[in-house]
Each structure stands twice: as structure tokens, then as C-alpha cells.
Amino acid sequence: MSMPYYVSPEQVMKDRAEYAQKGIARGRALIGVVYDHGILLVAENPSRTLHKISEIYDRIGFAGVGKYNEFDQLRVAGIRHADTKGYSYSRDDVDARSLANVYAQYLGQVFTQEMKPLEVEILVAEIGATADLNRLYHIAYDGTVTDEQSYTILGGDAELLAQRAESIYRSGWTLPEALAGSLFVLAGADRTLGVDDLEVGVLDLKYGRRAFHRLEADELSALLANATPTA
Amino acid sequence: MSLFLFPPGQDPGPNFADLLARADHSREIGSSNALAEVPHGTTIATLRFAGGVVMAGDRRATEGNIIAHRSIEKVFPADRYSVVGIAGAAGPAVEMVRLFQTQLEHYEKVEGCTLSLEGKANQLSQMVRTHLPMAMQGLVVVPLFAGWDDRREIGRIFTYDITGGRYEEAEFATTGSGGRDARTTIKLGYREGLSREEAISLAVEALYQAADEDSATGGPDPIRGIYPIVTVVGAQGYERLENETVGAYFQEILTRRAELYRGSERT
């Protein structure tokens, strides 16, 4: 007769967390930064078509790192959540906090109950009518939500990148400054990232009702030319 | 609310209306009672010009022989490059537009690219068809759809019937109770390759003539400052003219016509 073997819950959680972290660390990092007129999202992404950054709703943007199919599924679910909510109530009733909560619940549930946790980290960013209403919700693979005020880093070697960010970030950055800062954080001093390596989106109220705007190659080159190295 | 995640075979993809059906949102709109009492529309006119399309619509809603609203809007941006105008029962019509707008935006966000203009026109066709049972009960909704086709680089116009039949118009189209008068006016002034100004002017003239003949169509209202909605869609996207600008076009017509009558006075 075979003995059913026992694994402690602590061990199970630890294994799952390690598995998810490994998966996420394989991909490139992504950063979300608040600048003077909005929120900048910058990802290292060589693909032009498989996006890591996208629009969820009028004032809400989404960014994900890790396994593409998994965060893309979450992205679509987020758009569905926002559109159904805006359709049945009002466009003003769609907010990032409620979306971050449903994401967190789902990720937490998968992490504890499914065989395999989702290998993703996601960011729900919302631009407010005033700067103090800007929101950055960082949601980890296990459903942990953190609410950041100025910047947040997803994936890759997040600790090292966070140190770099801390060393240079200051509030009130203009868009070119924020972009230069983000590139320094993502690439460090030894690497340089060009237009082709980047995917960049902004949330800025100057674009009207739908504040999300993807910066295309020409806009991005123009911005990079303006950006002065900060480090 | 929980996240809308579906198993592969049942996923609605970028289709918002299908998502609503699966998410069990009720799409029942309006009521079958007191059909004659619901506000009705009106006159919408649309025509092509060299750089796109113009669509204009009056602001009046009527309940029987009563003016229910003086400033309702019947011409809406469907998305950045298209415009939809509605005639018929106001409640379900506005609801249909709202669903249509959400549908187009939903598709764009989920898929990361916009539908082709023809794709949008077909979507609207499906919505009109879904509405058929309500139409049979008297709540008819007949939209007009127009927009800029960025693949062919031309403005295009689509008309519908209550069964969802979709027809492309080469020059111009009108709908609503004053549609016939508007149509005649445009027909007389239309030629291929009108300029933007000429097209706007013709659309405004058409609405003026429709309001002159049809009691359910509102004319310019300088006292309250309410003028019909005039929109233009071209390569630059959707644009709604300012109230004052539309007012100026009407003022020109009024001045011209006033002179005409003065000239015919006999002493």
C-alpha cells in the first residue's frame, strides 16, 4: 500500500511563487511613471504588434509583463469589465480601483487554487482630473496589489531597477525627462535602447476623452531627440 | 462584477453585443405600451463631397402633435471616423447608438485596430435586424451611417431598412419624416465633387426646407440659440460644427429668402 505523501501548504505556496517569479523574470521589464501632464508607460518590447501596453478605457491604461497569452487574456477581460460597466452605468463610473480589485481577486484565486499560477505582473494606470488623482495599481502574480504614487516597475530584475529609479526620480518631470529617466532605469548605464526596442504609451488628458495614446516610431524619435540624459 | 473569461469555444472575442448576451445583461429596451406616446424623430440628411461626408440632423422630437423636445441630438459620432444619424422612436434609437458606439470602441481596444468602414456598416445592420421585433410593434429605428473609408480614401454613405438591409448610396441620402423634402433639395443642388463649404451649405438648406414643410422637423431657433447639428467626417476624422457656425449658415439662408419675398411684393 502506497502512502499518500504530505506537502506542507507553506511549501506549496513557496514552490508556486518561485515558479511564477521565474517565469516573470525571463521577460523584459516595464515601467510606469507619473510626469507633469500624465502617466508614461515604457516597455522593452522588440515586437511592433504583440503589445504589452494598451488601452482599457477612457482614462485607464494597462501594462503587463510575463507570459504574453496570460496577460493578454487579462487585458481583454479588463476591457470587457470596463465596457460593460460603462455601458450599464455611466462612463464616469468606470475606475481603476474596481478593476484592480477584480484582477487581484482573479490572480489570487488562480494562485491558491489552480495547479499553475499565472506568470504575470500587471499594471492598471489611471489618469485623474488632477495630478493627485493619478493612480498606479501594481498587481503581482499572487494577487497582491500595491498602490504607487510616482512610479512602478514590473518584471525583470525589479529590485535593481527600483534602485535605479529611486536614484533619479523626481516629481514634476516633463514627458521627455520622464522618457529619458525610464530608459535609464530599464537599460542602466551600459546599454542604450533605441526606438525599435521600445513600446511606449501615455495617458494624457490632452488627447480628449480617450486619454490613452500609443507613441508611434516618429513621435518617439522626436521625443528621444529632445530627451536629455539625466544620469 | 467578476472578470469575463470564457472557455475557448464560447469566447465572444471582440463582439460587445455578444458579450452582453453571454454576460446576461438584459437588452430589453422600451415598452410595448403607449407606442404613440414615445418621442419620434425627424430629418437627417447626409451627402458626399470631395473630402468626405457631411451629415446634418434637426433637433426636434415630437409626441403625436406635441413638441416633446427642442434640443435633442440625433446625429452622433460612432467613432473617430464615422457618424450615425437616427430617425424613428427616440428611446430605442439612442440606445442603439450607444450600443453601436461601445461596440466599435470595444472592437478597437480588444483587437488593437479599427474595423473597416464596411465592417462598421455591417455591425449596425445586425443591430437594426436584432431590433426588428420592436420595429414590428411600431418602435421603428432607421439609422443613416456615413464615414471616411481610410482604405479607399473616400467618404461613404449607408442607408438601412427596418429588416437590417444595408444599401450603399453613391451621392446622398436622407431619412425621417422630413426626409423627402430634404432629399429633393439636395438633389437639385448636388453635383460630383462639391467642396466642403458647398456640401455644408446644401445640407443646411435641405434641413431648412424640410423644417419648412414638415411639422415634426425643427427649424433654426435663433431665439433659444438652437440650431441643427452639422457634422463633417473626412481624413481628419469626425468634426461637429460649432453652434454659431451653423447659425451663420442659417442666417444666410434666411437673409436670402427674405429678399426673395421682398422682391415679389406688389404695390
Whether A91 has its CB under 8 Å from any CB of chain B: the answer is: no
What value does the mean pLDDT take over residues A46-58? 94
Q: Which of B2, B25, B105 sits opposite A88 (nearest CB)?
A: B25
Q: Is residue A180 scored above 80 in pLDDT?
A: yes
Within a domain: A83: yes
- The pLDDT value recorded for residue A230 is 52
Within a domain: A12: no
Using the beta-carbon criterion (under 8 Å), do A79 and B23 form an inter-chain contact? no
- The pLDDT value recorded for residue B27 is 46
Half-sphere exposure of A165 (CA within 13 A, CB side): 22
Q: Is residue A221 scored above 60 in pLDDT?
A: yes
> Which grid coordinates are listed for A68?
504574453
> For A39-43, A86-90, A110-114, B32-36, which range has the lowest pLDDT when averaged over its residues?
B32-36
Strands B154-160 and B141-149: antiparallel
Number of independent structural domains in chain A: 1
What value does the mean pLDDT take over residues B70-98? 93
Q: Is residue B228 scored above 70 in pLDDT?
A: yes
> Which grid coordinates are listed for A91?
462612463
Using the beta-carbon criterion (under 8 Å), do B2 and A74 form an inter-chain contact? no
Q: Give one DSSP letter per residue of B130-169, joined into a string.
A: HTHHHHHTT--EEEEEEEEETTTTEEEEEEE-TT--EEEE
Measured CA to CA, the distance from residue B117 to residue B78 in angstroms comes to 11
What value does the mean pLDDT take over residues B29-48? 65
For an interface test with A, the pick among B103, B109, B238 (most A C-beta atoms closer than 10 Å) comes out as: B109
Strand ordering across the sheet containing A135-139: A53-57, A60-66, A120-126, A135-139, A145-148
Q: What pLDDT digit, counting tens, does each position of B88-120 carry?
A: 888 889 999 999 999 999 999 999 999 999 999
CATH fold of the domain at B37-259: Glutamine Phosphoribosylpyrophosphate, subunit 1, domain 1 (3.60.20)
To the nearest whole percent, how much of chain A has pLDDT over 70? 97
Q: What are phi and psi of B249, to 5 degrees?
A: -60, -40
For an interface test with B, the pick among A72, A84, A106 (most B C-beta atoms closer than 10 Å) comes out as: A84
Determine the residue type at B204.
V
Measured CA to CA, the distance from residue A123 to residue A147 in angstroms comes to 10
Helix, strand or coil, per DSSP, at residue B157: strand
- pLDDT band for position B266 (50/70/90)? low
- The pLDDT value recorded for residue A228 is 62
Q: What is the pTM of this model?
A: 0.87
Determine the residue type at B174.
T
Burial of A102 (0-12, 13-18, 19+ CB in 10 A): middle
Using the beta-carbon criterion (under 8 Å), do A83 and B5 form an inter-chain contact? no
Q: What pLDDT digit, counting tens, does each position of B168-206 carry?
A: 999 999 999 899 999 999 999 999 999 999 999 999 999
What value does the mean pLDDT take over residues B41-46? 88
Within a domain: A13: no
Measured CA to CA, the distance from residue B71 to residue A126 in angstroms comes to 34
Residue B118: partners with Cβ closer than 8 Å, 6 or more residues away? B149
To the nearest whole percent, how much of chain A has pLDDT over 90? 79
What value does the mean pLDDT take over residues B51-73? 92
> For A52-61, A202-211, B8-17, B104-113, which range has the lowest pLDDT when averaged over its residues?
B8-17
Whether A126 has its CB under 8 Å from any CB of chain B: the answer is: no
Using the beta-carbon criterion (under 8 Å), do B106 and A88 form an inter-chain contact? no
- The pLDDT value recorded for residue B31 is 42
Q: What pLDDT digit, counting tens, does each position of A92-142 carry?
A: 999 999 999 999 999 999 999 998 999 999 999 999 999 899 999 999 999
What value does the mean pLDDT take over residues A5-15? 90
- pLDDT band for position A59 (50/70/90)? very high
What value does the mean pLDDT take over residues B200-216? 94
| Cβ contacts of A49 on chain B, cutoff 8 Å | 112
What value does the mean pLDDT take over residues B66-88? 93
- The pLDDT value recorded for residue A104 is 96
What residue of A is the nearest CA neighbor of B3? A77
Within a domain: A206: yes
Whether A56 has its CB under 8 Å from any CB of chain B: the answer is: yes
Q: What pLDDT digit, counting tens, does each position of B249-265 carry?
A: 999 999 998 988 887 66
Within a domain: A71: yes
- Average pLDDT of chain B, as a whole number: 89
- pLDDT band for position B30 (50/70/90)? very low
What value does the mean pLDDT take over residues B125-133? 92
Residue A194's CATH number: 3.60.20.10
Range of the domain at A172: 27-223
Q: Is residue B224 scored above 80 in pLDDT?
A: yes
Q: CB atoms < 10 A from the CB of A224, how many?
A: 18
Measured CA to CA, the distance from residue B227 to residue B76 in angstroms comes to 15
Within a domain: A80: yes
Within a domain: A228: no
**B42 belongs to the catalytic site:** yes
Using the beta-carbon criterion (under 8 Å), do A87 and B112 form an inter-chain contact? no
